[in-house]
A and B are shown apart, each in its own frame.
Chain A
């Protein structure tokens, strides 16, 4: 049932996107494709952090894996875009499984450190093996609209279509996964791994699974980035990409799929909009160049100050205040909304009642 509802909703969403893409200019179509890329990447990361309680500063590296897989499959085997969109996440998932096996044993800052290393080291492999990966110049990727759409069909609209399709499919899968037993188990190991283990949940395996799923999303996002950028090179997968994904996930609201959309909108639209404003108001070159970065920082600070649970958490709080159906206090069985859910490292996490008690349980 849930699956059917999500599918129906996705089809409606697809129709809205299709209508918008036809109406909007070529550049807006291009931005739509870019937003789709970041929605997929951030959603994968947000689910990893928000549901399974693990952190990754290395998802930019998994994007690189997906992007290079795309470039190699398209260049050497002439695979079509849809096949590549299926294969690239699979390749990234394998990489995610390898990292996840190690990561499942690490927590908090150690996990952050390990994945940080991945983000720094992996893309520079392209420079070590320039024969395969094209070195600094990278590999080119070209996706053109099928001839059946006519010779003058804008390429950017086609990119918007295939990227939006990929994003919608991803969102449906993630939405179902989040509501399935796997999703509930992830929340259990996030909230209290010891209790989850006592209840018979395979904590390690669940953690690896979350990592694999997150890497697959990043791999798909990498494939989408490759076709929108039409080039795959190490310069696109710097540490700042991984940090931007993390910032987008936090900004939007961890663990929520709508939050991933907010994060993607901020990452894609804020710099373009601010650049337009900065250049049209005649700031000097050095100042204008740094304004988008500063504006991004300001947005990040303001959102975290006003909405510590991200934009989605903030909207929910506002909705709660203004909508006519406030939840009845203490209604049985009602879980607090996700914005108040806490990860294992959150300061809000309930501490063990007392050390004595904990000892007493053994």
Chain B
């Protein structure tokens, strides 16, 4: 013990740290930025656009979500194989953060300071991305198309470089709420939601549309506690005839099975996040098997009402589904063609749109300006809201019903905003067909 507390300890400690950092940093110590050539844009060369992302490739959020970045990369490879963007090929470096905000900070600093990426693209997760959003904006790094439905990104005065993409949970709650108000007038409604920004924002949206007198019970859950029996019993006791659920797939399945056990069969309305029929059917069968029962997954999902902001996977006649299936089969064939893959390719398409619009000599400020000038509707069923004052993203969705294991669209696409007074109105335009070249 004596030696470890010797005089030299802190000096040795400091020298070792410095030496190992210098060794690890060989060749990259000039990348601080201040001394570089003034004209050069980080991440952009004559032949390449380098972008980065933080993704949960391992850890609790990895199942399903880890398919997104490879799918986006598949679309970028398709673009690269067809000439790139003004001759530049996209290089997409996505690093694993394990859904841990501390690791997110670390990998994003690495991407921005060491790898010198042009932009952070599709960083996944609300708690994870919240850890870096201020840093990215103070460093003036474009923070494009965040993979989270939190409406916290839509704040151009505080976060001028950040843009959401997917339908946010408040809009989604309003669209589901408006449907419930119209189709289940006078019925008793119960809420079941995840107790974080996802569920709370969803409830906020629902409450803007559904009369409060109709809501007879509000039950929440946390994803770390699978014992939802008391919450479901309370919903049943309240006499709810319709249950609206802002839940992730595992908890949608638990909700359905617990209700089944109680002999209770209300109408279920489930948010897009927790209603993928393929995922749900698998979970229902797996959970039931654990409990010693056998169920038909697709039978149990029959009739669940949900919504969607991308074309349904089963709609093979849709030109976007055809394009993305083709890209998937060529560049990402090992993954299943499911909702996550569709999402990854669709958001990658939006990035290429933005870069094309930013022109032949893109800059960080230039791409922000290009998106604020508006992006034309791409793979989503509703247009984008992008402007200098709106950084939200997709504005609307259709209502769908699960039939025989697939979502079937009911009626028109609905659009709305995130304010209590904004009406939910049918979208009168039609989705443009995917370009024949497959590129914007």
Task: Assign chain B's interface to a size class.
Answer: 35 or more
Q: How far is the CB of A100 from chain B (nearest CB, A)?
A: 22
In the bound complex, do residue A25 and residue B114 qualify as a contact, i.e. CB atoms below 8 Å apart? yes
The answer to whether residues A229 and B101 also contact, given A279-B93, A289-B57 and a CB cut-off of 8 A, is yes
> Which stretch (B15-23, B406-414, B425-433) binds chain A?
B15-23
User: Is B14 positioned at the interface, with any CB of A under 8 Å from its CB?
Assistant: yes
In the bound complex, do residue A16 and residue B131 qualify as a contact, i.e. CB atoms below 8 Å apart? no
User: Is B70 positioned at the interface, with any CB of A under 8 Å from its CB?
Assistant: yes
The answer to whether residues A316 and B24 also contact, given A140-B134, A230-B131 and a CB cut-off of 8 A, is no
A26-75 interface with B by 8 A CB criterion: 26-28, 30-32, 34-35, 39, 51
User: Is B127 positioned at the interface, with any CB of A under 8 Å from its CB?
Assistant: yes
In the bound complex, do residue B32 and residue A178 qualify as a contact, i.e. CB atoms below 8 Å apart? no
User: Is A98 positioned at the interface, with any CB of B under 8 Å from its CB?
Assistant: no
In this complex, how many residues of chain A approach chain B with their Cβ under 8 Å: the count is 81
- In the complex the two chains form, what is the Cα distance from A28 to B96 in whole Å? 19
In the bound complex, do residue A289 and residue B14 qualify as a contact, i.e. CB atoms below 8 Å apart? no
Digitize B106-130: 1 where CB-to-A-CB distance is under 8 Å, 0 elsewhere.
1001100110000000000011101
In the bound complex, do residue A34 and residue B10 qualify as a contact, i.e. CB atoms below 8 Å apart? no
The answer to whether residues A235 and B57 also contact, given A156-B113, A285-B69 and a CB cut-off of 8 A, is no
Digitize A209-248: 1 where CB-to-B-CB distance is under 8 Å, 0 elsewhere.
0000000000000000100111101011010000000000
In the bound complex, do residue A235 and residue B196 qualify as a contact, i.e. CB atoms below 8 Å apart? no
Tell which of B1, B8, B20, B95 has the most Cβ of chain A within 10 Å.
B1
In the bound complex, do residue B224 and residue A136 qualify as a contact, i.e. CB atoms below 8 Å apart? no
User: Is A332 positioned at the interface, with any CB of B under 8 Å from its CB?
Assistant: no
User: Is A94 positioned at the interface, with any CB of B under 8 Å from its CB?
Assistant: no
Q: Which of A127, A225, A261, A275 contacts B102 (CB 8 A)?
A: A225
In the bound complex, do residue B31 and residue A273 qualify as a contact, i.e. CB atoms below 8 Å apart? no
Q: Which of B9, B34, B57, B126 contacts A171 (CB 8 A)?
A: B9
A86-144 interface with B by 8 A CB criterion: 124, 127-128, 130, 135-138, 140, 142
Digitize B12-49: 1 where CB-to-A-CB distance is under 8 Å, 0 elsewhere.
11111110111011001111111000000000000000
User: Is A286 positioned at the interface, with any CB of B under 8 Å from its CB?
Assistant: yes
In the bound complex, do residue B34 and residue A152 qualify as a contact, i.e. CB atoms below 8 Å apart? yes
In the bound complex, do residue B10 and residue A9 qualify as a contact, i.e. CB atoms below 8 Å apart? yes
User: Is A14 positioned at the interface, with any CB of B under 8 Å from its CB?
Assistant: yes
Question: Which A residues are in CB contact (< 8 Å) with B213?
Answer: none
B46-67 interface with A by 8 A CB criterion: 57-58, 66
- In the complex the two chains form, what is the Cα distance from A187 to B5 in whole Å? 15
Chain A residue nearest to B62 in the complex (CB): A289
User: Is B183 positioned at the interface, with any CB of A under 8 Å from its CB?
Assistant: no
In the bound complex, do residue B22 and residue A24 qualify as a contact, i.e. CB atoms below 8 Å apart? yes
The answer to whether residues A13 and B10 also contact, given A32-B21, A136-B126, A230-B131 and a CB cut-off of 8 A, is yes
In the bound complex, do residue B113 and residue A27 qualify as a contact, i.e. CB atoms below 8 Å apart? yes
A241-275 interface with B by 8 A CB criterion: 255-259, 261, 265, 269, 272-273, 275
In the bound complex, do residue B66 and residue A286 qualify as a contact, i.e. CB atoms below 8 Å apart? yes
The answer to whether residues A17 and B17 also contact, given A257-B9, A286-B57 and a CB cut-off of 8 A, is yes
B82-110 interface with A by 8 A CB criterion: 93-96, 99-102, 105-106, 109-110
> Which stretch (A193-201, A333-341, A344-352) binds chain B?
A333-341
In the bound complex, do residue B102 and residue A236 qualify as a contact, i.e. CB atoms below 8 Å apart? yes
18 A-B pairs whose Cβ atoms sit less than 8 Å apart in the complex? A6-B5, A8-B7, A16-B15, A20-B17, A23-B22, A130-B195, A142-B134, A225-B102, A231-B105, A235-B99, A235-B100, A235-B128, A255-B4, A286-B66, A289-B57, A290-B57, A312-B4, A338-B3
Query: A124-B222, A137-B197, A231-B105 provided; 7 other pairs, C-beta below 8 A?
Result: A20-B21, A27-B31, A27-B113, A236-B102, A257-B13, A269-B24, A289-B96
Residues of B within 8 A of A (CB): 1-5, 7-18, 20-22, 24-25, 28-34, 57-58, 66, 69-70, 73, 93-96, 99-102, 105-106, 109-110, 113-114, 126-128, 130-132, 134-135, 138, 150, 195-197, 222, 224
Nearest 5 A-B pairs (CB), nearest first? A289-B57, A13-B14, A27-B113, A20-B18, A231-B131
